Structure 1
Amino acid sequence: MNKTKETFVFGFALFAGFFGAGNLILPPLLGFKAGGDWWLVTLGFIISATIIPLLAILAHARLQGTMLDFGKKVSPFFSLIFCLCMYAITIALPCPRTAAVAHEMAIASYFGTGALLTSVLYFALAFVFVMNRNKVLSILGKYLTPIIVLIVLAIIVVGVFSSEIQLSSSNLELPLISGLLEGYQTYDAMAGMIMGGIVLVSINNSKANMTFGEKKKMVAKSGFIAIIGLFVIYAGLIAVGAIYNTQFDVNISRTDLLSGLATKTLGSIGSAFLAVLVALSCFTTAVAIIVSVADFFKEYFKKSKMAYLITTIICCVVGVLVGQMNVKYIIDVAIPALMFIYPICIVLILLNVLPEKFASKLVFRAVVLITFVFSIPDFLGFIIPADYLENIKSVIPLASQNLGWILPALIAFILVNLFERFKS
């Protein structure tokens, strides 16, 4: 296989890794709310949902280790706690959300059964697949993603070119910030850190003998291919949501909007087909998440099969409990957790991409500490009444937009680097 063909293969694999069926429900509602400002929310969404995750892939290519290596310059203990937090959030939120999306898009509409029954059967089946590491899922995943992509592209093309464009005014005060924060809900930055080594391992396992520089170049080109694919899908769905924003109820849910757009563009058969495929794809995503988490703890406890079993059971039990909730509730509940973990994810990704001379151990420790401290008001703002934090947020730049950590982290980065230059 020549290098160009390999680059495209790895690029499509990377795209499939980030392209989660659950993420399809996020962009249309953004466009629906943004109206004429759809391009601004697209820009924000692309930054947090594709560019930052791809930087995580590049960081993995440079580190050539595990997720524990992202925080090792802060301290091994911090790195372990950070990884445990990442996996806890992954088990508690995006994994159960797949069941909720599958229920709302495919099960409730056609069978009318309760969410609890769907959640129980969903994760009972997931348990069986995880314990057997069945190859059926990898085969399904290989064919499901291209089919879903084709259907989504059909919705975008038909929606954009066959409908009269009537964009209403935006319902969002800060479209760019809204798009940026909504991109947190894709969990793609976390996914990039968790699974980022896969592409590099695939390159290492290929027959071609490549130098470090050649590998880095191939990862970069593969990432560029993946980001183009994600950009087209996300921007297209946001645009279609904006074009049709006068044709649905203002309070429509994310899943109902995606189904409604599929019906208006492809008809009822197209909508039903999309619902079934999304449900299947959600299931493969849930199994992949559980396997990756169970594998981590199996390796951590010296290849313990019992650790794998216990982790799988915990994941499935949590999945049943949270997966019976509706999608909107799971997304709303996730906001404080994402406001807590995402700033730390972002700075660790960026610091690991930077040259060594700008990212010493002291820089890592200072920037991560400052990021954590100044992100506290952001995630507490979704837990306690806003009045309690008004005085604090008023003195922190961008805190009212839930991005109060950005400037302090940047200042800490600059000051510590200047201190080290003068010290040397």
Structure 2
Amino acid sequence: MKKFRDIIIVGFAMFSIYFGAGNLIFPPYIGMTSGSGWLISFLGFIFADVGIILLSIIAVAKSGSFQAVVGRAGKKFGISLEFIMMLCLGPILVIPRTAATTFEMSIAPVFNLNPIIFSILFFALTLILTIRPTKVIDIIGKFLTPVLLITLAFLIIKGIISPIGALNNNIDSSSLFVTGLTQGYQTMDALGTGGITMLIMASFLSKGYKDKTETINLTIKSATVAGIGLILVYGGLAYLGATVSSIYDKNISQTALLINIIKNLLGNNGILILGVIVAFACLTTAIGLTSVTSKYFEDISNKKFKYEHIVIFICTFSAIVANFGVDKIISISVPILTVIYPISIALVLMNCFRKVFTKNTIYKGVAYATLLTSLLTVIDSSVVTISFIHKLPFAALGFDWVLPAIIGGIIGYFVNSNDSDVCLTETE
């Protein structure tokens, strides 16, 4: 019974860490643009979002660390990639965005509060709930997630019982799955999986589970609980979007669509419900990522920097960056994430088939080819046009790196090297 309870609590915590405000906005828009074919788009979204998350967790848990996954492309390369990734998840981009999003969607529409004061209050609360690393998962899983889930369930059930409108049947269904697939990929939810997985495994260790194989199995089971929760919530939100597919068109912004759906279902008081959902979604994500990144920087510094001190620094720095606003933070984050996310996904997917891809030179070929393509994509979008990037297969879907990655892997296969071991760390 204890084991089952721990799996549920940790699974709830994982759900909340992954379910940020962006995850609240994507599914309704997918449903609205798909109409009666919303289920097809939804399946594509789940495959690229929840599917990649679960594969990443399994790969990291079995390998022993995220570094054991990305390090196959070279030790220095893996360390650099993980370091940049943690900086992005930490004080530079993602954590500050949680406070900025909460303010713009939950506080500003209702209260006349100074954003600087709010950011201080938000990260003071994050600091209090994060300062003890062994308690982070329990705080999120036992207390915060249930509030978030109950509020979401109330909204979704209301929309199912009293649909806002009829589902639009006049939408081209030929590309719905691909549309959902693209949107799911663009959430970039799997970016922090390495640190989150290690946090979850550490949580199980603190609960008395000392056997490594058992800890891995419990982590995967908790991830499954989180995945089921995400699928149910995403499905409900996508259906809500589908019920307004005859009312709005694709030109409406994702945020405006969500607000209008809630107003239609719950009236003007629904904004308060939205505020609660966004606040808890962002707070749980901020707490989880602050703990993950703090533990990471403590470990790589060989504990020269204490976890508690790093938490204080991240919360303080994030409180400052949060005042730049959501749009500014996103404009900074997109180019960086566009470069590092495809590399991470490619290496994680390969690691899931590590008995097939045994040569490290294959990983190196894939990683460097993906890195080059991603860099050229960013340059093309912000500096100067690089026409051939647009001619690569799947470029319109955001997957222009796939063919270069395959070519890089093939080249790597034929490169002679003594570096041809199986995974750095592996638990079968």
TM-score of the pair, normalised by structure 1: 0.82
After superposition, the Cα gap between the structure-2 partners of 1:355 and 1:243, relative to the gap in structure 1 and judged at 3 Å, is: same
Report the Cα offset of residue 355 of structure 1. 3.0
Deviates more, 1:27-36 or 1:3-12: 3-12
Report the Cα offset of residue 171 of structure 1. 9.8
Map 1:263-278; keep pairs closer than 5 Å: 263-278=263-278
After superposition, the Cα gap between the structure-2 partners of 1:301 and 1:202, relative to the gap in structure 1 and judged at 3 Å, is: closer
In structure 1, the gaps of 5 or more residues are none
Q: 1-side partners of 2:405 and 2:47: how far apart?
A: 18
Q: Could you tell me which residue of structure 2 aligns to residue 81 of structure 1?
A: 80
CA-to-partner distance for each residue in 1:90-111, whole Å, 9 max, x for gaps? 1333212211221122211111
Cα pair 1:62 1:353 within 8 Å, conserved = no
After superposition, the Cα gap between the structure-2 partners of 1:267 and 1:53, relative to the gap in structure 1 and judged at 3 Å, is: same
2:393 to 377, 384, 397: 397
The aligned amino acid for 2:180 is G
Q: Could you tell me which residue of structure 1 aligns to residue 29 of structure 2?
A: 29
Q: Could you tell me which residue of structure 2 aligns to residue 194 of structure 1?
A: 195
Q: 1-side partners of 2:228 and 2:137: how far apart?
A: 26
The aligned amino acid for 2:72 is K
Report the Cα offset of residue 197 of structure 1. 2.2
Map 1:291-330; keep pairs closer than 5 Å: 291-305=291-305, 309=309, 312-313=312-313, 316-326=316-326, 328=327, 330=329
After superposition, the Cα gap between the structure-2 partners of 1:306 and 1:155, relative to the gap in structure 1 and judged at 3 Å, is: closer
Q: Could you tell me which residue of structure 1 aligns to residue 180 of structure 2?
A: 179
Q: 2-side partners of 1:209 and 1:296: how far apart?
A: 21
Q: Could you tell me which residue of structure 2 aligns to residue 145 of structure 1?
A: 145
After superposition, the Cα gap between the structure-2 partners of 1:193 and 1:73, relative to the gap in structure 1 and judged at 3 Å, is: same
Cα pair 1:105 1:259 within 8 Å, conserved = no
After superposition, the Cα gap between the structure-2 partners of 1:139 and 1:306, relative to the gap in structure 1 and judged at 3 Å, is: closer
Q: Could you tell me which residue of structure 1 aligns to residue 58 of structure 2?
A: 58
Q: Could you tell me which residue of structure 1 aligns to residue 157 of structure 2?
A: 157
TM-score of the pair, normalised by structure 2: 0.82
Is 1:16 paired with 2:34? no
After superposition, the Cα gap between the structure-2 partners of 1:177 and 1:157, relative to the gap in structure 1 and judged at 3 Å, is: same
In structure 2, the gaps of 5 or more residues are 421-428
Q: Could you tell me which residue of structure 1 aligns to residue 259 of structure 2?
A: 259
Deviates more, 1:250-259 or 1:397-406: 250-259
CA-to-partner distance for each residue in 1:358-380, whole Å, 9 max, x for gaps? 23211211111122122233333
Q: Could you tell me which residue of structure 1 aligns to residue 352 of structure 2?
A: 353
After superposition, the Cα gap between the structure-2 partners of 1:180 and 1:376, relative to the gap in structure 1 and judged at 3 Å, is: farther
The aligned amino acid for 2:379 is L
Deviates more, 1:195-204 or 1:311-320: 311-320
Map 1:199-218; keep pairs closer than 5 Å: 199-205=200-206, 212=213, 217-218=217-218
Report the Cα offset of residue 185 of structure 1. 5.0
Q: How many residues align?
A: 416
Q: Could you tell me which residue of structure 1 aligns to residue 425 of structure 2?
A: none
Q: Could you tell me which residue of structure 2 aligns to residue 48 of structure 1?
A: 48
Report the Cα offset of residue 56 of structure 1. 1.4
State, as a whole percentage, how many aligned pairs show the same letter. Answer: 31
Q: Could you tell me which residue of structure 2 aligns to residue 339 of structure 1?
A: 338
After superposition, the Cα gap between the structure-2 partners of 1:27 and 1:113, relative to the gap in structure 1 and judged at 3 Å, is: same
Paired residue secondary structure (1:244): coil
The aligned amino acid for 1:391 is F
Cα pair 1:335 1:379 within 8 Å, conserved = no
Q: 2-side partners of 1:381 and 1:39: how far apart?
A: 34
Cα pair 1:397 1:404 within 8 Å, conserved = yes
Deviates more, 1:67-76 or 1:50-59: 67-76
CA-to-partner distance for each residue in 1:166-210, whole Å, 9 max, x for gaps? 327559995444433433454421121221123434444555676
Cα pair 1:93 1:330 within 8 Å, conserved = yes
After superposition, the Cα gap between the structure-2 partners of 1:198 and 1:349, relative to the gap in structure 1 and judged at 3 Å, is: same
CA-to-partner distance for each residue in 1:208-255, whole Å, 9 max, x for gaps? 67673x655554444333322211111221221121134458654434
Q: Could you tell me which residue of structure 1 aligns to residue 423 of structure 2?
A: none
CA-to-partner distance for each residue in 1:101-160, whole Å, 9 max, x for gaps? 211222111113454553354345545665677969953663221222222223223323
Cα pair 1:25 1:258 within 8 Å, conserved = yes
Which structure has greater helix proportion?
A: 1
Cα pair 1:262 1:271 within 8 Å, conserved = yes
Cα pair 2:126 2:287 within 8 Å, conserved = yes
After superposition, the Cα gap between the structure-2 partners of 1:208 and 1:318, relative to the gap in structure 1 and judged at 3 Å, is: closer
Cα pair 2:20 2:285 within 8 Å, conserved = yes
